Structure 1
Amino acid sequence: MSAPAPRLPGRRVGVALTLWVIFLAACLLVVARTTFTTDLSAFLPRNPNAEQRVLVEQLKDGVLSRTLLAAVSGGTPQQRANASLALGTRLRTDAQFESVVNGALDPAQRDRDGALLFRYRYLLSPAVTPAHFTVDGLKASFADTLDLLASPAGLALKPLVNRDPTGEMLRLADVLDAGGHPPVAYGAWSSRDGQRAMMLLTTVASGSDTDAQEHAIQTLRTTFDALHSGLTLEITGAPTFAVDSRAMIKHEVARLSIVSAVLIVTILLFAYRSVTMLGLSLLPVLSGALAGVAAVSLGFGSVHGITLGFGTTLIGEAVDYSIYLFIQSGDATRRGEPHPAARRANRDARLRRWVARAWPTVRLGMLTSICGFSALTFSSFPGLAQLGVYSIAGLVVAAAVTRWVLPALMPLSLTMRDMSGIGDRLARIANAARRFRWIAIAALFAWVLAAVLFHPKPWLNDQLNALSPVTPEAQARDAALRAQINAPDARYMAVVSAPTLDAALEGAEAAAPMLDRLVASHAIGGYETPARYLPSEAAQRSRQDALPAAPDLRARVARAVQGTPFDPKSLEAFISDVDTARNEPLLDAGWLRGTSLGVGVNALVNCSPGRCDALLPLRLPNGPGAREIDAPAVRAALAGLNDTPARITFVDLKGASDSMYDSYMHEAVKLSLAGLVLILALLALMLRSVAGLLRVIGPLAAAVIAVIAGLALAGISLTLLHVIGLLLIVAVGSNYALFFNRNFDRDMPEAITFASLAVANLTTVAGFGVLALSSLPLLRAFGETVGPGAILALWMSALLAPRHTVEQPAAREAGTLPADDPPARSVPSARSDQPNAAREV
């Protein structure tokens, strides 16, 4: 007794359409409130280690992410300096910039800095010790001051001598300039080669606020252009990288989406020859895209531009479902029935056959794709997790719309191209090629052997910048300009972590003697520290305690000035200032606000609730025989300082980025293997046949191996996204292998199936393949992998598929079943078809 034929929803069609419309409305509501981002912080780890945390914070909100380096070139040195000075004067009044440094200070800034330094000189000067104010210490200081007065610089010092005979202001100038600065020409910073005037600008906005960074950069350019100097302005730095990357991502996503859409629409119009069918076939895609964006928005709070770019590939796979439905359920031999009821009955019968014969295979293919994408959702990198969630939600919704919505909207007659002739020719080619499948397998082995023998590069790319949208030219230009101002190497730094700012400053002071010894041994060329600009409370109190009371100091001064030109009475102002400093409130960050010292502290301190980091950037050794920093030696030296409350860590940002990328790669491999295991488990559960499982997996494995070898021969080392792309080949290609390993009948012969798979494959290649044209490594990797992989998966599935005999159900031949009803025994569930196919091999 035959099983009942599957039925269309019938009276439940209205319910399905209503639910679909409500679902789309809800998705649109979510999408309308979605925030779209383009900063690459989404591809940074959620739980970084200590070194990676510093890198992540610097990339997001640290001073490195807010610093612009500008260079004025062209003209004469004086013209460049004048342009730099004029530009700096204008930008210092702009609220977008926290600091503008070019070797000159405006008078108001100079006055603020001078007044602060002079008032707190005894709390800031590291020379203030008890010995410094003994009679011998005062004699030595007075003698140094007298020597300086006799020098060419003495004229500038003379007004301060009576109030600062110990030279604390000059000493502070040396301390604050210990980091060095570019040479000065005509009052402005000049590059070391003398060909540019240099500027450093720090924005108020955080590095993750790309809109604000873009506006600040535009303000810089506009202000420079308004000078009409005829010179050229170069700008580099992390903010420019972020702004340029966002513009590139937007451009690439728009460009690739348009190219992909045009190609897919062209393919579908060729197949359907019907605008109505084209519109219907895109409904699952649009529904899936909306669902994907909404799911990511709800799960992550924002949607990254890379996710949208990757979403264009969803078009290539999601549209496959409608292609299978329309081509496989179409019947070019039955058109023009005179009565609508007859046309409706014919359409419904064909749809029932497709639901019974093909939908289980389509559903299993969709589930294998979901297994592949689901591995990404467990990634510790939010960007990859977004890709997984987007794809899963999109594919599920696209498949559901194809199964329950499109049948309700399908016209009574499918007025589209008869694909059976094309499919028949393709089937004959494939059947002929199957006779030489061993030659194809041998060619695959030769291809792989050539890749092993002649691969010109390492198989794996272990550099994080392999994923960066910043061009090598832009990175080289940035490095060259930084070298021109002797900026600290952004790669190396010591990081002092403590619960409070003051504790972090104490830790920085504790590290200073060791760093000084490393400078003396030429292990490093120098370092920056926020403690230069803001000593810890303990250091300030120690210096206050070293200051003698006025009566004692007066007596010591009287003895120290004997035999010198100094008059003890003329130094009463000095004695009064020292006595005031003994009771002066300690200097804190609030006092530094609006001064150059405050800028220095802000640039080298990152504080959040419960933790403060003091950053001590290290300079490379300079001079003859200069070399790289001996990272192991510096790390070992600083490790011995961790017996203080503050924790001192040596950070190699490049090492941290390499470590992070290594984590990326290991995680990608693990997730890909997990996805593959899920796919194998699903297929094994559904097929219940080892032979059937091998016939499905074999072509996919061959396609993956061929793609890896092809990339190797092309000189492309695998990044982690190539690894994920290999998993997607399996996920996408499983649809083809499943269809080629099912039994065919006269209702859905191999030719029609081949035609539908060929069209579906073209749309998939159009969706994924265009990504290979992208200038973004993140997207290009998918195109280079999945594009050719999808083609190979199709043809390998065709070549390695068994030869089929068309089922001729006895009941149908005997006339016991209506022509429009499917035979019960031929329902192509994966569980029933694959063993039959295995017996026919």
Structure 2
Amino acid sequence: MTAGPTRARRIAVLLLWLAVVLAGAGIISRTQFSGDLSAFLPASPDARQRVLIEQVQSGVASRTLMLGVEGGRDAAQRAEVSRALGKAMRASGLYEQVQNGDTSELQEAGTFVFDHRYQLSPEVNPARFTVDGLRDAIYDTLSLLGTPAGNIVKPLLERDPTGETQRIAEGLIPASSPRSEEGVWASRSAPRAMLLATTRASGSDIDAQGAAVARVQTEFDRITQGMGADAPRLLLSGTPVFSVQSRDKIKGEAVHLAVVGALVMGCLLLLAFASPRALVIALLPVLTGVVAGTAAVALVFGSVHGLTMGFGSTLIGETVDYAIYYLIQARGAAVAGTGWQRWRDQNWPTVRLGLLTSVCGFAALLFSGFPGLAQLGVFSIAGLVAAALATRHGLPMLAPDGATGIGMRRHMARLAGGIVMAMPRLRWAFAALAIGAVGVLAWQGGELWRASLSDMSPISKASQTLDAQLRSDIGASDGGTLVVVQAADAQSVLRAAEAAGHRLDALVENGQLSGYDTVTRMLPSVATQQARIASLPDVATLRARLGQAINGMPLQPARFEPFIAAVDAARTQAPFTREALIDGPLGPVVNALFYERPGGGWSALISLHTTERFDTGQLAAALAPLPEVQVVDIGRELGSLYTRYLHDAFVQVMLGALAVVVLLGIYLRSLRRLVAVCQPLLLAVVLTLGGMAVLNVPLGILHLVGLLLIVAVGSNYALFFDQLQQTGRADEDTLASLMLANLTTVVSFGLIAISDIPALSSIGRIVAPGALLALLLSAAFTRSGVMRAPAKN
């Protein structure tokens, strides 16, 4: 005679369970996964942080690729490959601009600059066209005829004797551009041709960035095909490369950890149950939890960060515990088919309370001001709840009396019983260690929490070194300090950028800056263009002044009639705006430095080229009178962000801990029992932190998440020991389930601890020892004499 669930109920529950999992899988299949760390930037930033986040997500730095064509037969071959690769990249349409020093495709840009030279040249002012001004300008131009620049200047002498085109070109040359070899950019320190490209796609669109990065490699392979052993090799770096590498590495590591973790735990469960069927059943709540957690994040946030997906591996360590508790504790019922009812009545309340304490702990993350941290909270809560409900309602339909196989469980129970009886003798040793840990933590103080936001990045040191080398070769700004101009409309931004430029010129003169790049060199404000045009004299005045200016020079006035005609024509030129440049050859450069902000208004980015004498404080002081201009010290802002991030996380963890204590107090209704349950959890956290301090491990945000997991996992152990204390005697199956659950948790997080992803390994290194300590301490602080030899079922 059996008393298991009815067939109709079994079918209904299993079909509902399957439908929920399939629905979650359907949501996941349409979900976008991201890998950039901007998810771990604040959702409600201040003004400077908002500038930083905009640049991280869609600024020019987030879209810049640096390429090196290294080795090969000789410089000529590298130059040939560089030109062919640049041409192919421009033709692809994936890149806003591609620069490699090849000027063969810049004729159109040169024509525009020449035609609008009197609007673009910063030297155009009333003094420029006085007799003295004209004489000095023409002398400067003539002095260039005997230099390498003479070949460029000579054809323009009759039409541009004052050298406005030359002056504009000088301003557009990067302050620290690479040297030229065989007509293309080349490294100063290695046999390497250099290219610089900016992708069209936003920096936050990782899929599009991946396509752009892959296209570079595809075109390079095509160009170098057939070159044999002499073929050069491609070096590629930049934020798009890092974003793609991060996403792929996180996804690959998450799959790797899930597979390896499932295999290792599968072996452990097979040893424990000696039943493949029990193994499959035990893993079903885990699968349900991961699917539910991922789908919940996708629904709430619209996308899933790679670290959140990797965090799914950590859920295996706890969600499998629910199945272990059920499969072991539901066995041995007096009447076949009623084991699930006995477990529901005797053990489910304890598991449910452990679940609720975990939910309370992770609920604190939901209120984080950082989307990435909130994602972890949503993922954890949804995953744990789904796994627990699958255990409570689904597993009784599949195994009404738990797992029938014995396997190694009896030996595990005996070992657990011996540990349980021995642990109380060590409680004072644990207490002494805890006091020592508190002393170490007090001595180190805030120095223990010294990890940074960048420590979460999975980018290897080799990739970072290559990036620094290519950045140095190409003379790119290190981006350590940003000057950002913001205003409600485009013209206000341009006027403010011009004012900032005048102040930056002083820093260039005193040697703090080697130069800077600003959009106003290509797109002056309408007011500036009008002022320059207004300074141009009429034909008669210019002809008279020019005649006096060249008096004594070996030049005939008639030779400059084209110049007089050009100035006269320029006097009627209308100012040009961004729209006139956007589709032309200068459009990509303008777009990189001048853009409409996502939230409204306009911004201009001034890129600085600093020297050893550079001082951020003096830069900020120089620009302080300009309210539209902000100086963003990226290092300082990231430090400020992380300080706020860490503070908020501490507050959230403490609130979560308080919620756990309140929940336990309401349920236990006994101060003595509340202290008995919370004591091992607190000591496990203190001892784990003390161990990290002794090992000099820098702790950060995700270590705090690990502490929450210790409480989440350990609360189950502490509550079961509380339950056993109430009954006064430990039964064999309960001890076996606790030991097996702890073993799978420690092994799962131990695997995560050796992950190549710093963010995941941080969690694993905290939770693996912490979960073991939570079990041992729960046994150690059990009342003496209560835990006798385990009773057999």
TM-score (norm 2): 0.93
Report the Cα distance in structure 2 between the residues aligned to 1:479 and 1:389, rounded to whole angstroms.
Answer: 37
SS in 1 for 2:723: coil
Q: CA deviation at 1:582?
A: 1.2
How do 1:228-267 residues align onto structure 2 when only pairs under 5 Å count? 228=227, 230-267=231-268
Corresponding residue number in structure 2 for 1:789: 770
Aligned partners of 2:296 and 2:260: how far apart in 1? 25
Look up the match of 2:624: 639
Checking the alignment, whether the CA contact within 8 Å between 1:743 and 1:804 is kept in structure 2 is no
Give how far 1:414 is off: 4.2
Whether the 8 Å contact between 1:318 and 1:395 is mirrored in structure 2 is yes
Unmatched segments (≥5 aa) in structure 2: none
Contact 1:736 1:757 in 2 (8 A): yes
1:285 counterpart residue number: 286
Q: CA deviation at 1:18?
A: 4.9
Q: 1:71-86 maps to which residues of 2 (within 5 A)?
A: 71-74=68-71, 75-86=73-84
Structure 1: gaps (5+ residues): 1-5, 335-344, 808-819, 821-841
| Distance in 2, Cα, partners of 1:604 & 1:692 | 64
- 1:35 equivalent in alignment to 2:32: yes
Distance 1:150 1:366 in 2: 84
Secondary structure, aligned partner of 1:100: strand
Q: CA deviation at 1:746?
A: 8.4
Tell me by how many angstroms 1:146 deviates.
2.9
Letter aligned with residue 325 of structure 2: Y
Counterpart residue number, 1:430: 420
1:704 Cα deviation (Å)?
A: 0.9
Note the C-alpha offset of 1:607: 1.6
Are the counterparts in 2 of residues 457 and 712 from structure 1 also a CA contact under 8 Å? no
Are 2:571 and 1:571 equivalent residues in the alignment?
A: no
Partner of 1:831: none
Residues 307-332 of structure 1, C-alpha deviations (whole Å, 9 max, x = no match): 12111222221121121122112118
Count residues with an aligned counterpart: 779
Residue 488 (structure 1) aligned with residue 477 (structure 2): yes
1:550 is aligned to 2:539: yes
The 8 Å contact of residues 741 and 802 in structure 1, kept in 2 or not, is answered as no
Between stretches 545-554 and 387-396, larger displacement belongs to 545-554
Output the CA distance in 2 between the equivalents of 1:745 and 1:496: 68
CA distance in 1, matches of 2:118, 2:143: 22
Counterparts in 2 of 1:107-506, with a 5 A limit?
Answer: 109-151=105-147, 153-177=149-173, 179-193=175-189, 195-225=191-221, 226-227=223-224, 228=227, 230-331=231-332, 345-348=335-338, 350-411=339-400, 414-417=403-406, 419-446=409-436, 458-506=447-495
Listed one character per residue, the Cα deviations across residues 391-448 of structure 1 (whole Å, up to 9, x for unaligned) are 1111112212222222232256842116345313321332123123223322444566
Query: Which of 100, 107, 115 in structure 2 is aligned with 1:102?
Result: 100
Q: Distance between the aligned counterparts of 1:319 and 1:779, measured in 2?
A: 19
Query: 2:679 is matched with which residue?
Result: 698
Rounded Cα–Cα distance in structure 2 between residues aligned with 1:515 and 1:617: 11
Distance 1:405 1:673, change over 3 A: same
Deviation at 1:617, TM superposition (A): 1.7
1:339 equivalent in structure 2: none
Compared CA separation, residues 429 and 143, structure 1 to 2 (3 A): closer
Q: Who is 1:63 aligned against? A: 60
- SS, match of residue 413 in structure 2: helix
Structure 1 Cα separation of the partners of residues 696 and 445 of structure 2 = 6
1:316-351, Cα deviation, whole Å (9 max, x unpaired)? 21121121122112118x6xxxxxxxxxx4321x33
Match of 2:89 in 1: 91
Measured against aligned partners, the alpha-carbon deviations of 1:44-69 in whole angstroms (never above 9, x if no partner) come to 22122222222222221111111111
- Say whether the 8 Å CA contact 2:421–2:787 is kept in structure 1: no
**Residue 616 of structure 1 aligns to a residue in which SS?**
strand
Contact kept, 8 Å, 2:330 with 2:340, in 1: the verdict is yes
1:625-664 Cα offsets, whole Å, 9 max, x none, are: x34x21112112211222xxxx101111122222222222
Secondary structure of 1:92's aligned partner: helix
Contact 1:72 1:80 in 2 (8 A): yes
Quote the residue 1:656 is aligned against. 637
Q: Is the 8 A contact 2:33 2:306 kept in 1?
A: yes
Amino acid at match of 1:347: G
Report the CA distance shift for 1:176/1:21 in structure 2 as closer, same or farther (over 3 A). closer
Within 2, Cα distance between the matches of 1:168 and 1:793?
76
Q: Provide the C-alpha distance between the structure 1 equivalents of 2:297 and 2:785, rounded to a whole number of angstroms.
A: 43
Q: Secondary structure at the match of 1:346?
A: coil
Cα 1:748/1:359, change in 2 over 3 Å: farther
Q: Look up the equivalent residue of 1:23 and give its one-letter code.
A: V
- Secondary structure (helix, strand or coil) at the match of 1:436 reads helix
Q: CA deviation at 1:736?
A: 0.2
- For residues 94 and 443 of structure 1, the distance between their equivalents in structure 2, rounded to whole angstroms, comes to 64
Q: Is the 8 A contact 1:314 1:767 kept in 2?
A: no
Residue 666 of structure 1: aligned partner: 647
In structure 2, the residue matched to 1:815 is none
Aligned AA (2:666): L
Q: How many Å separate the matches in 2 of 1:571 and 1:247?
A: 63
Counterpart Cα distance in 1 of 2:165 and 2:451: 50
Assess, with a 3 A threshold, how the Cα gap between structure 1 residues 150 and 319 changes in structure 2: closer, same or farther: closer
| Residue 177 of structure 1: how far off its partner (Å) | 2.0
Match of 1:53 among 33, 50, 54: 50
The one-letter code of the counterpart of 2:134 is L
Aligned residue number for residue 824 of structure 1: none
Bigger CA drift: 34-43 or 782-791? Answer: 34-43
Q: Which deviates further from its counterpart, 197-206 or 34-43?
A: 34-43
State the alpha-carbon separation in 2 of the partners of residues 691 and 180 from structure 1. 71
The Cα RMSD (Å) is: 2.6
CA–CA separation in structure 2 for the residues paired with 1:310 and 1:151: 64
- Equivalent residue, structure 2, for 1:729: 710
Partner of residue 742, structure 2: 761
Deviation sequence 1:225-265 (CA, Å, 0-9, x none): 32335223211111111111122112101110011111221
Bigger Rg, structure 1 or 2? 1
Partner Cα distance (2:302, 2:294) in 1: 11
1:436–1:763 CA distance, 2 compared to 1 (3 A): closer
Q: In structure 1, the residue corresponding to 2:91 is in which secondary structure?
A: coil
